[in-house]
Amino acid sequence: MTETRHTRLLIIGSGPAGYTAGVYGSRAMLEPILVQGIQPGGQLTITTEVENWPGIAEVQGPDLMIDMEAHAKAAGTEVIADHISSLDLSKRPFTAVGDTGTTYTADSVILATGAQAKWLGMESEEKFKGFGVSACATCDGFFYRGDDVVVIGGGNTAVEEALFLTKFANKVTLIHRRDELRAEKILQDRLMKNPKIEPLWFHQLDEVLGDEDPLSVTGVRVKNVKTDEMQEIPCKGVFVAIGHAPSNELVKDTLETHMGGYVVTAPDSTATSIPGVFAAGDITDHIYRQAVTSAGMGCMAALEVERFLSEED
């Protein structure tokens, strides 16, 4: 259906930043429209336990995001299932076009499009994506019951993926290019104590090995980064967990970005290089990238929108 909707505040993204901006924007009587995108609830919907959301010692990521959506709606945010395919920030009102055909015009925009998994960029990784190569253990771990799998990376995501996979897999090899993990100490401790996980330090993935018919992974070839020595590890699944890149497709040519594409905001602010456009959460944060910091930035953005619009009025 093609229609045009006007709003004082358009929020793009439905992770912790977007929903928190919705709560605060609603309470500022801005009657925000929030467009969810293709991952309603954002990155926390692809994890299991979240243990660092203040006030709840342990909560399932998808449950937390259902609650955040309900909270934003209860406060007065109109939550719409659509994905913005283009965003014109050259003049106000700003114009966004959704995949549903709806055009959204807005006096202000909060960008909360978050981040998505990075890939190594090798041909064999691409070839076996969906056929043994994955970036989401929560989504695909179940398929590897009793199998050997490998996880690539050394951050929180890699360690959590490795721990999660031990529920299904026979053995998990964590392949990391250094001998030091970036992951939080508590996660490192759980990793080291888990008898199903074997870390392989100073190694990098060289190639995913597999069969053609049916297309399936049979192992990986890894390289020792100190000696260049190669070895093959038989496995059925390869989980790539080497970090996340900001989802900046809508604004990479219009807003100032830095540090590999993160949207630049003014110091102590969520204001971007275009007045009336604010950015919150992983799209702008190359340092902390946590649910709670994203939510905090969503709050800041909505408060700044309120101030920006009332100064204009």
Residue 156 Cβ vs ligand NAP, minimum distance, rounded to whole Å = 4
Q: Residue 276 interacts with ligand NAP (CB under 6 A)?
A: no
Q: Which positions from 247 through 276 interact with ligand FAD, judged by CB under 6 A? A: 247, 250
Pull the structure tokens for residue 227.
């000696």
Residue 52 Cβ vs ligand FAD, minimum distance, rounded to whole Å = 5
Stretch that binds ligand NAP, among 5-13, 60-68, 177-185, 194-202 (CB under 6 A): 177-185
- How many whole angstroms separate alpha carbon 108 and alpha carbon 302? 10
Q: Residue 157 interacts with ligand NAP (CB under 6 A)?
A: yes
Q: Residue 172 interacts with ligand NAP (CB under 6 A)?
A: no
Residue number with CB closer to ligand FAD (153 or 281): 281
Q: Residue 153 interacts with ligand NAP (CB under 6 A)?
A: yes
Residue 274 DSSP code: S
The answer to whether the peptide bond before residue 93 is cis (omega within 30 degrees of 0) is: yes
In the structure, how many helices (H) and strands (E) does the chain have?
A: 7, 21
Out of 86, 204, 231, 269, name the contact with ligand NAP by CB under 6 A. Answer: 204
Other beta carbons within 10 Å of 196: 14
- C-beta nearest to ligand NAP: residue: 155
Which option in ligand NAP, ligand FAD, none does residue 145 bind, with CB closer than 5 to 8 A by kind? Answer: none
Stretch that binds ligand FAD, among 45-53, 67-75, 228-236, 304-312 (CB under 6 A): 45-53
Other beta carbons within 10 Å of 234: 12
- How many whole angstroms separate alpha carbon 162 and alpha carbon 105? 44
Pull the structure tokens for residue 131.
């056929």
Positions annotated as catalytic residues are 136, 139-140
Q: Residue 115 interacts with ligand FAD (CB under 6 A)?
A: yes
CA separation, residue 299 to residues 75, 106, 270, 279 (Å) = 13, 19, 10, 11
Strands (E) in 20-176, as ranges, are 33-35, 49-50, 59-60, 78-80, 84-88, 94-98, 103-111, 115-117, 133-134, 148-152, 171-175
Stretch that binds ligand FAD, among 107-115, 167-175, 269-277, 303-311 (CB under 6 A): 107-115
Residue 210 Cβ vs ligand FAD, minimum distance, rounded to whole Å = 25
Q: Do the beta carbons of residue 130 and residue 215 sit within 8 Å?
A: no
- How many whole angstroms separate alpha carbon 206 and alpha carbon 243? 18
Binding mask 5-24 for ligand FAD (x = CB under 6 A): -------xxxxxxx------
Stretch that binds ligand NAP, among 63-71, 106-114, 175-183, 247-255 (CB under 6 A): 175-183
Q: Residue 244 interacts with ligand NAP (CB under 6 A)?
A: yes
Residue number with CB closer to ligand FAD (54 or 146): 54
CA separation, residue 132 to residues 109, 155, 158, 166, 243 (Å) = 39, 21, 16, 16, 19
Question: Which residues here bind ligand NAP, judged by CB under 6 A?
Answer: 52, 120, 152-158, 160, 177-178, 182, 204, 241-244, 289-290
